Chain A
Amino acid sequence: MKRLAFAIACGSCLACITLAPTDVRDASRVDLERAVAVPDAPRAPVPAPVPQVAAAVPLPSRPLKAPPPLFTVLQPVAGKPIVSFRLVFHTGAVDDPKGKEGLTALTADLMAQGGTRALSSSQLLDALFPMAAELSATTDKEFTVFEGRVHRDRLDAFLKIFTDVLLEPRFDPKELDRLRTDAVNAIVNQLRGQDDESLGKVALDALLYEGHPYAHFNGGTVEGLKAVTLDDVKAHWKTVFTQDRLVVGLAGAVDAALEKRLKDRLAALPATGAPAVKLPPAPGVHGKAWVIERDTLSAAESMGASFTLRRDDPDYYAVAFAASYLGEHRQFHGVLFTELREKRGLNYGDYAYAEHFHQDGWSSLPALNVGRSQQDFSIWIRPVEPQNALFAARGAVYFLNALTSKPAPNDRFEIARGFLIGYTRVWEQTDQRRLGYAIDEAFYGTPGFLDGYRKALAELTPEAMLAAVKRHLSSDGLNFVFVAKDAQALAKVLSNQAPSPIAYPSPKPAEVLAEDKAIATQALPVSPGAVEVKAARDFMER
């Protein structure tokens, strides 16, 4: 698409895979079931009791499904002129060797951008440019996606290039240097230096999964990237980009003949390579807080907890809907958005997520093929004025407590339900997105995922939602990350939990002010000894 210059500002063939056994989820429900009293009436601003946080309880890992080698999703669309390729390898940052964090993403980048045996990186650009063909690779914790789009006029030329990228990458040492430097800069300059919100989200991952293969940034660490050699890349390519890890997606102007051509070529990939990484239990921490110190105008906040809930759990739809009710990503009617932004003007937006939150550029749609064996719940508070940092965190906890303690009011429940039944259809409008959902279904074992979601929503009641939420969520399980300038001061108030009243420049309704008094002293589930100040300049160094 021609880029718009905005000054500112957004029939698959499925594997027959049964749902995973449900008993596993009960083994590790930690203390996420504690009921938390919600203050119903205004109170005097007295210091909140400092909570005693229970010890972490590890959450066992449960591997995702392994579809058969070269399992294929074929979705022809009559009359459509565009061909979409979506090749999803079950490999990601978890496959990075210790001390070489970033190897998988760097290998994928070198494949997608570094040229092929026939074409240098420069010639690759020359070939793709006139067709406006799209070819990219993205790496997440457990998956790497090679995405291609081309007009059918140019299919033959593109198919050769797209498969050469996978089968005959050039592995030019000069390109490795270039892409490695870019990857280091993405940490040193972009993540640490110019994106407080991403820094907060990546730091929350690091906090929740300390010592676990999920802990490091998908793009790697500075020292890990610097340790990678060209031989490492070549060896990694052969061992993780293999047939047994690959699901093939084709949509648009496609047919069985194209599927055969593609798969005939992909048969040249190694049949198998390294065994799948056996993930250790997630640490299951709660009650911890990191304050990342950075010279910034405002305070960015993320909070969350790892949990055992996944799409293949019978409670998933109810809890996912509860998160949407609390704060659907970048939408206007969630509880957090309404209460914190609309009524109080705290910031630009406030949202909640029942799966690991993965922002896909400016899109408001959920990212695809970023599945995880181990999931987490999180809340994203967009930057607030520094003096309101604690109040905003307390507000999030206060409204989460309301969600977990009493049935949602019928009127708000119906708004959220009606919205999501319609909005989920917007999630599956493009070929790439439909492929993405079908491929996720294969790995989670959840055929007909979105239809199932809409059906479950139609039958859900506020009481059933509350029951499911109580089985999986509690503010007691939360951990917190703040990115702020005066980190020491924020750490201090987090530890002593002094009241944090808020002042407004305009009149507020009495009911808002009354609720503010309760929020100002809302206990945060953070223990004084679990608050750490960290410097942004050291983040993801090793």
Chain B
Amino acid sequence: MQLVLEKRAERSNTIALVSPLIAIGLTIVTMTILFAILGKNPLLALQAYFIAPLTDSYSLQEIAVKATPLVMIAIGLSLCYLANVWNIGAEGQFLIGAVAGSWIAVKTQGTDAGAWVLPAMFVLAAAAGALYALIPAICKVKFGASEILTSLMLVYVADLFLDYLVRGPWRDPQGFNFPTTAEFDPVATVPLLIEGGRLHLGSIIALLVVAAAAILLGRTIKGFEIRVVGAAPRAARFGGFNSNQLILLTFAISGALAGLAGIIEVAGPVGHLQPGISPGYGFTAIIVAFLGRLNPIGILIAGLFLALTFIGGEQAQIAMKIPLDVTKVFQGILLFYVLACDSLILYRFKLVFPNRQVARGTG
């Protein structure tokens, strides 16, 4: 008996729609087994993961806060992936954006700088993220170096650079030697949407990014070019599209969004620059992009769902002592199932019983 793939005559739209749901269902089944292996009550654990965070206002706001960077980064990544180039260094672009924006916050600290500070931080962070993403893009376009490896290597470099800054020149003199900058001034902080709550302006920006991406991809020539270059490179060449230029463009946009997400995280929920500002947003966003089927609205929903797993993971750790790494395992398994189910869009799975009389070739 053998599993064989049979190409469908055309892609199945029904399966394209339900495949993320099948994937989530399969992941939850797998997690149930994993919880049982860990000796935890699976039902209670699932409840802590997926239901409990939805039951109080604080957690709901926290989900939106966590979804903000995930959605912003994933939107950028989806443009790259649609164009069939692989930016996997969003984590580094996120950190460099956070560093660049923080520079203004640190330099204006304690001065009477006005309301221009926060917008300036945003602009600088987006520019820095875009430039940092352009390094692998230029290496690819000019020299043909694999963007996968170069963009990933730059994550480690960005991480070390941030570490140097907060342990060296930018360390808070009153910080008891902790590796962190001083708390940002109010003018350098992302305003809250609800007084005393968690929800901040960044979530609105993320929604605007989703809308902009939907328009770019659905209503503009550039968006069409990005999709054609990725799906049919030969057709794109005949159409006269400049694929190198599109590679640079998609990397720059995705770097800018990751950088912006970085400064929003630092000037928002965190409030100062320190190592470990990201629990791997740049990598989780890859899952968000795929789970959302590289579609802006899909990414918004997927971002909220993965944010739920972050919050649920924290709550399950507090309530049931389930290790935080379970969240990462969950995310990894989810991505596997998403990819496997996506295969169903193009192929039909068939079990066949090979006929023994058929010659197996020359061997």
Q: Do A and B bind each other?
A: no
